[in-house]
């Protein structure tokens, strides 16, 4: 979803579009999986009086609406990205950047849990790790 579609989606669900919410959406679309702290720092440039609680609450609301996904990186670090579309994550071991790659969940993820004991699947998260193109280039591998 682009910004206009996201705004419509939120309005349809009765959410008031405040300038702060608008800015958080813009930042999430333009930044690559920021932490809440990074988002707050950027928000603070635009809205000097914005509180950390506003940023956290907005992220929580967006998460509940399924617009934003929360990725756990370590015990206390969470990073946020847009949840739309089927994608998997590629985590670079060198720069720790998280990339979204377009991908459908493989067939076995749909069948295996049911076949091996009647598990119900609610969500599928795929994460690949390795080295990103930028870091490979810096290392002179490519
Ligand atoms: Zn990298």
- Structural domains in the chain, CATH included, are 3-82 (1.10.10.10), 87-138 (3.30.1490.190)
Per-residue model confidence as pLDDT tens digits over 58-112: 999 999 988 898 988 777 778 998 886 778 899 999 998 999 898 887 888 878 8
Bridge partners for 68 per DSSP: 82
Q: Who contacts 105 (Cβ-Cβ below 8 Å, separation ≥6)?
A: 86, 124, 126
Which residues make up the environment of ion ligand 1, defined by Cβ < 5 Å?
Answer: 92, 94-95, 132, 135
Q: How many residues does the chain have?
A: 142
pTM metric for this prediction: 0.76
How many A from CA of 89 to the centre of ligand 1? 13
Cα(2)–Cα(15) distance, integer angstroms: 17
Q: How far is the CA of 113 from the centre of ligand 1 (A)?
A: 33
Q: How remote is the CA of residue 118 from the centroid of ligand 1, in Å?
A: 39
Provide the pLDDT confidence category of residue 46 given band limits of 50, 70 and 90.
very high
Dihedral sign computed on CA atoms, order 11, 35, 54, 27: negative
Backbone φ, ψ for residue 71 (5° rounding): -110, 130
Kindly report the average pLDDT of the chain as a whole number.
89
């Amino acid at each position: 979803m682009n910004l206009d579609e996201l705004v419509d989606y939120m309005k349809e669900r009765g959410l008031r579009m405040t300038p702060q919410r608008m800015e958080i959406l813009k930042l999430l679309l333009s930044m690559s999986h920021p932490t809440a702290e990074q988002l707050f720092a950027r928000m603070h440039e635009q809205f000097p009086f914005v509180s950390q609680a506003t940023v956290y609450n907005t992220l929580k609301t967006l998460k509940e609406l399924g617009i934003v996904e929360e990725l756990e990186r370590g015990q206390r670090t969470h990073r946020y990205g847009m949840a739309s579309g089927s994608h998997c994550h590629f985590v670079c071991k060198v720069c720790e950047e998280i990339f979204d790659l377009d991908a459908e969940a493989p067939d076995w993820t749909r069948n295996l849990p049911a076949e091996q004991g009647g598990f119900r699947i609610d969500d599928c998260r795929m994460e690949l790790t390795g080295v990103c193109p930028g870091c490979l280039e810096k290392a002179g591998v490519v």
